[in-house]
């Protein structure tokens, strides 16, 4: 699915305290990854691509593995603030990965202004997904600052690099088996669709289908209710409304981040009767609404979000796989009431979750095993070329990844925050990912560099939307009394008001600049005319 402008890697930015002045982060990180290589498959396996794209690639252990290629160290120029860190992260994630090596890189980043150091991990999504990334984070860290790291270096042997002939022979064996797999998969999907609709047999499916048709003619109330249920949970196929970031993406990225106390979100969850995820979705909806209002680009229809969903059971033999599906949910950006937005997000997520009942996620993933890579690649290339002409069914990707609740340490250095850094694709140039760790929630926004040039403003609108929800619910934040909260609410404008004021300031600034420019031009013309007159008089004399 990768193109020259879209990349398949997912990333994470960990911020650590420095336990002592003489602590050397790079040496500790290099030692830990060196010890884990022999234990964790994704760290040493490399991809072998089949000639002509006739089959999916295969993994093999890299016989030329080079740890120094994968573990790198960089430093920020003074002062080393969060904006500089975000810029450096954006540059790193805006580069494709070299498939001649195992598909991962880590960067130890020094020079942060608050004394912290950062660790940026970059793994290809074909290697691990977000949930597997959390597993790896837990394996790389300790539960106590003085804990002994459990991994020690073990000898391992790289594998023979497969030749094109060997890969083609394996492809032939795989293609011979594909028709059987495809048939079994099709039958299973039909059965699951029938079960989701309450149908117990294929003959019952045919009978029930006739009832639905009859119900459409007004002859069956039961079948009409079934038809309405299926209509509500059908997968969206129509284009989503246009936004500034729903276009073809370029090769460069922006990254912005902010953090909030997790307790704030839990208080809002209780105050609104929703879940943490409902509140997160409502925060995103309110922030996107305010941003689009500020840019005079808010569609009348609600936006649509793609929400990745982990389908792990915990019983997988190999945890280092990509076990993620997705659902599509409406974002009530057309609604100006923050509390109603939470309620609508809750309803939208309930409807969207039923999509997974209609077509089970594992069936979709198995379908990729029997899909021709040539056809899939051609489809992706076509979609990339048409991204500026046709909108996809979704506007934005929003993901909420639960992380560890206990504090974690790396060689005595306490992990203070883990900020998600995800990926974007053609037609969907904005990704909002939220990750919880200990007692905080971190927002990580990634966007195309040109489509969303003011990404830090957008992430700030998410924080402002939290203030808006506290004001709307009347809920009290920890450590503040009602009076101070009311004073804070009175001083803090809502995200939507902030966006409108910002838009008004931009408009005023443009008008002022235009007036000044016109005045300068008029003055210049008068001065030029005077000089011309003097010159003519002198020439005449």
pLDDT band with cut points at 50, 70 and 90 for residue 486? very low
- pLDDT at position 365 is 54
- CA dist 302 and 238 (Å) reads 13
pLDDT band with cut points at 50, 70 and 90 for residue 136? confident
CB 462 within 8 A of CB 284: yes
CA distances from 442 to 6, 107, 403, 408, 491 (A): 24, 20, 10, 16, 24
pLDDT band with cut points at 50, 70 and 90 for residue 453? very high
pTM of the full predicted structure?
0.77
> Three-state DSSP class for 418?
strand
CB 124 within 8 A of CB 8: yes
Q: Which residue of the set 125, 160, 435, 462 is catalytic? A: 125
**Most confident by average pLDDT, 267-281, 323-337, 360-374:** 267-281
pLDDT band with cut points at 50, 70 and 90 for residue 71? very high
The encoded tokens of residue 325 equal 């599906």
User: Is residue 297's pLDDT more than 60?
Assistant: yes
pLDDT digits (tens, 9 = 90+) for 505-531: 555 445 545 555 555 555 555 545 444
pLDDT band with cut points at 50, 70 and 90 for residue 472? very high
Lowest mean pLDDT across 341-345, 433-437, 450-454, 496-500: 496-500
Top-confidence residue, 174 or 41 = 41
pLDDT band with cut points at 50, 70 and 90 for residue 498? low
Lowest mean pLDDT across 122-126, 309-313, 441-445: 309-313
User: Is residue 538's pLDDT more than 60?
Assistant: no
pLDDT (mean) for 127-152: 86
- pLDDT at position 480 is 55
CB 34 within 8 A of CB 75: no
Number of neighbouring beta carbons within 10 Å of residue 340: 13
The encoded tokens of residue 122 equal 């970059």
**Contacts with 487 (C-beta within 8 Å, 6 or more apart), sequence order:** none
User: Is residue 45's pLDDT more than 60?
Assistant: yes
Work out the mean pLDDT of the chain and round it to a whole number: 80
The encoded tokens of residue 238 equal 């129509």
Number of neighbouring beta carbons within 10 Å of residue 234: 12
pLDDT digits (tens, 9 = 90+) for 204-229: 444 444 444 344 444 445 444 444 44
CB 8 within 8 A of CB 1: yes
Beta strands 409-410 and 440-448, pairing class? unpaired
- CA dist 35 and 57 (Å) reads 27
Whether 39 is catalytic is no
pLDDT band with cut points at 50, 70 and 90 for residue 1? confident
427: left (phi over 0), alpha (psi -120 to 50) or beta: left
CB 444 within 8 A of CB 419: yes
pLDDT band with cut points at 50, 70 and 90 for residue 385? low
Burial class (CB in 10 A: 0-12, 13-18, 19+), 106: buried
The encoded tokens of residue 2 equal 């990768």
For the chain, the domains span 253-396+446-504
**Where do runs of H (alpha helix) occur along 197-261?**
202-216, 221-232
């Amino acid at each position: 699915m990768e193109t020259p402008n879209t990349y398949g890697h997912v990333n994470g930015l960990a911020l650590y305290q420095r336990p002592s002045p003489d602590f050397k982060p790079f040496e500790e990180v290099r030692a830990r990854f060196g010890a884990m290589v022999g234990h964790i498959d994704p760290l040493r396996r490399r991809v072998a691509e089949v000639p002509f794209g006739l089959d999916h690639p295969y993994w093999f252990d890299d016989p030329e593995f080079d740890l120094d290629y994968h573990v790198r160290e960089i430093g920020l120029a003074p002062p080393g603030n969060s904006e500089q860190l975000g810029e450096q992260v954006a540059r790193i994630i805006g580069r494709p990965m070299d498939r001649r090596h195992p598909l991962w890189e880590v960067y130890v980043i020094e020079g942060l202004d608050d004394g912290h150091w950062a660790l940026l991990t970059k793994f290809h999504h074909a290697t691990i997904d977000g949930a597997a990334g959390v597993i790896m984070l837990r394996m790389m860290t300790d539960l106590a600052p003085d804990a002994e790291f459990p991994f020690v270096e073990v000898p391992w042997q790289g594998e023979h690099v497969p030749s094109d002939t060997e890969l083609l022979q394996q492809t032939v064996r795989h293609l011979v088996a594909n028709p059987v797999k495809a048939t079994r998969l099709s039958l299973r999907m039909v059965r699951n669709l029938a079960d989701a609709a309450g149908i117990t047999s294929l003959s019952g499916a045919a009978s029930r289908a006739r009832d639905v048709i009859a119900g459409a003619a007004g002859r069956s109330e039961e079948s009409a209710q079934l038809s309405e249920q299926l209509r509500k949970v059908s997968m969206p196929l129509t284009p989503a409304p246009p936004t500034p970031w729903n276009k073809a993406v370029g090769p460069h990225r922006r990254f912005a981040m902010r953090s909030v106390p997790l307790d704030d979100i839990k208080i809002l969850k209780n105050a609104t009767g929703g879940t943490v995820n409902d509140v997160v979705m409502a925060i995103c909806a309110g922030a996107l609404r305010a941003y689009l209002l500020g840019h005079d680009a808010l569609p009348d229809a609600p936006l649509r979000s793609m929400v990745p969903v982990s389908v792990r059971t915990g019983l997988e033999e190999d945890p280092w796989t990509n076990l993620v599906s997705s659902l599509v949910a409406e974002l009530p950006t057309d609604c100006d009431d923050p509390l109603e937005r939470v309620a609508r997000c809750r309803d939208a997520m309930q409807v969207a979750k039923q999509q997974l009942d209609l077509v089970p996620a594992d069936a979709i993933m198995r379908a990729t095993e029997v899909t021709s890579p040539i056809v899939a690649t051609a489809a992706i290339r076509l979609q990339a070329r048409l991204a500026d002409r046709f909108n996809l069914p979704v506007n934005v990707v929003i993901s909420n990844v639960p992380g560890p609740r206990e504090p974690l340490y790396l060689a005595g250095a306490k992990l203070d925050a883990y900020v998600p850094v995800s990926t974007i694709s053609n037609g969907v140039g904005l990704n909002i990912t939220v990750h919880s760790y200990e007692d905080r929630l971190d927002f990580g926004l990634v966007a195309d560099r040109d489509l969303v040039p003011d990404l830090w403003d957008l992430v700030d609108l998410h924080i402002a939307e939290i203030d808006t929800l506290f004001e709307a619910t009347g809920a009290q934040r920890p450590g503040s009394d009602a009076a101070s909260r009311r004073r804070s609410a009175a001083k803090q404008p809502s995200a939507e008001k902030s966006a409108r004021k910002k838009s008004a300031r931009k408009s005023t600034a443009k008008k002022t600049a235009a007036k000044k420019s016109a005045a300068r031009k008029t003055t210049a013309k008068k001065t030029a005319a005077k000089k011309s007159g003097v010159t003519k008089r002198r020439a005449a004399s």
